[in-house]
Structure formats: structure tokens, C-alpha cells
Amino acid sequence: MKGSLIILSFFATGILLGIFHLFPQGVLTYDISFYVLCALMFSVGISIGNDPASLRQFRHLNPRLVFLPLMTMAGTWLGVIVVSFFLKNSSITDCLAVGSGFGYYSLSGILITQCKGVELGTIALLSNIMREVMTLLFAPWMVRYFGPLAPVSAGGATTMDTTFPIIVRTSGKEYAIVSIYHGFIMDFSVPFLVTFFCSL
């Protein structure tokens, strides 16, 4: 929990500095976060490659884990359908489109803004940022109560980049391959699913 609070405080500090423009403009224009992400992935790679036990476990991957992306989609859709009954302004298909961002906020936000307008687009952006942040913050709790696959499903399309390090830390290095496989399939599905639900 302490670790999550530290992460949240870094996020909150970033928001505050962003609101008051208390940072050099170059930080965002030069896409520094991409390079940090690359450095992070390189470091995660070192930690995997440096541990012979984790490499051995890749070969013993359970074949049933190929169904994990389907579970992620079904679970997400069920969840947002339930919520859509309580929302007056958004239809079921609106909610399904937002949910089908699976944490890929940049792309789903842009796609939904184009198809359904800026309001639902903003909801999609915020909702999918929140999904990513929730995964980052509550991954340890998810593992404890729902097993090591839970943060992978929660991470959605982000499990091969932004939430990947936290999954490896909480679920264990032996879930690194599942996480990348899952992220790859989800990433690929987002544009198709979002435009499909927008067109309904």
C-alpha cells in the first residue's frame, strides 16, 4: 500500500505541476516519457534475463492462458453493460465503446471523439487513464484476492508497456510472457472493437 501511495503522489504532483505549467515545455514536446518507457523496458528486460529461473519458466507456460484476452474482454463488457443501466446520457453501445479502450486511452480517446463527439471522447480518455492508474495502484491487491492473472486482465491493452513492469513485480516474472502476449492481442483489438461499437 505504501508503494501505491508513493506512485499516486508522483502522479498527483505531475497533475498539479501540469495545471500550473510549472515545468519546462520541452518535457512534453520531446516525448520524454517514451524514452523513459524504453529505459524502463530495458531495465525490466535485464531483470528477466539476469534471473535464469524466470527464463526457464517461459517454457512451462500453461496453454490455457491463451484465453486470457477473451476473459478480459468478456469481463470488461459485462462490467460496463451493468454500469450503462445507471447512466442516463450514455447508451449501452457508448459504454461498450469506452470500455473497449482497455486502458489504451490515447487511441480510444481520439477514435471516440471522431465518431461520437468530444464529450464521450473525453470520458473515454479519462476512463482509460483511470483504468491504467487503477491497475498500477491496486495490482498487489488484485494478485492477493484474484490470483496472478488479475492485474494482467485489469491492465488491458497496456500490459506490454506501461503496466508491464508492475505486473512483473506483483504477479512474478513467470507471467511476463503472458503479459506481453495479452497486451499484444488487446492492443491489436482496440481500434477494431472501438469503431465497431461506435458504428452500432
Site for another protein, residues 126 to 185, rule: CB under 8 A: 126-131, 133-136, 142, 145-150, 152-154, 156, 160-162, 165-166, 169, 180
CA distances 108 to 63, 72, 115, 154, 164, Å, are: 30, 17, 10, 16, 20
Per CB under 8 A, 71 contacts another protein? yes
- Strand, helix or coil at 147? coil
Cβ-contact 152, 167 below 8 angstroms: yes
Q: How far is the CB of 11 from another protein (least distance, A)?
A: 4
Site for another protein in 78-97 (CB under 8 A): 78-80, 82-83, 86-87, 89-90, 95
Q: How far is the CB of 144 from another protein (least distance, A)?
A: 11
Closest distance of CB 68 from another protein, Å: 6
Do 197 and 96 touch, CB atoms closer than 8 A? yes
Cβ closest to another protein, residue 39 vs residue 195 = 39
Among the listed residues 23, 114, 144, 200, the single contact to another protein using CB under 8 A = 23
Applying CB under 8 A, which of residues 30, 39, 144, 172 lies at the interface with another protein?
Answer: 39
The nearest distance, CB 168 to another protein, in angstroms, is: 8
**Taking CB under 8 A as the rule, does residue 7 contact another protein?**
yes
Q: Which of residues 50-69 bind another protein (CB under 8 A)?
A: 50-52, 55, 62, 64-65, 67-68
In this complex, which beta carbon is closest to another protein, that of residue 130 or of residue 200? 130
Q: How far is CA 26 from the centre of its chain?
A: 26
Query: Rounded to whole angstroms, how far apart are CA atoms 1 and 147?
Result: 17
Single-letter residue type at 23: F
User: Is the C-alpha dihedral spanning 16, 20, 24, 27 positive or negative?
Assistant: positive
Q: What is the distance between the alpha carbons of residues 114 and 95, in angstroms, rounded to a whole number?
A: 16
Q: What are the grid coordinates assigned to 138, written together?
A: 491496486
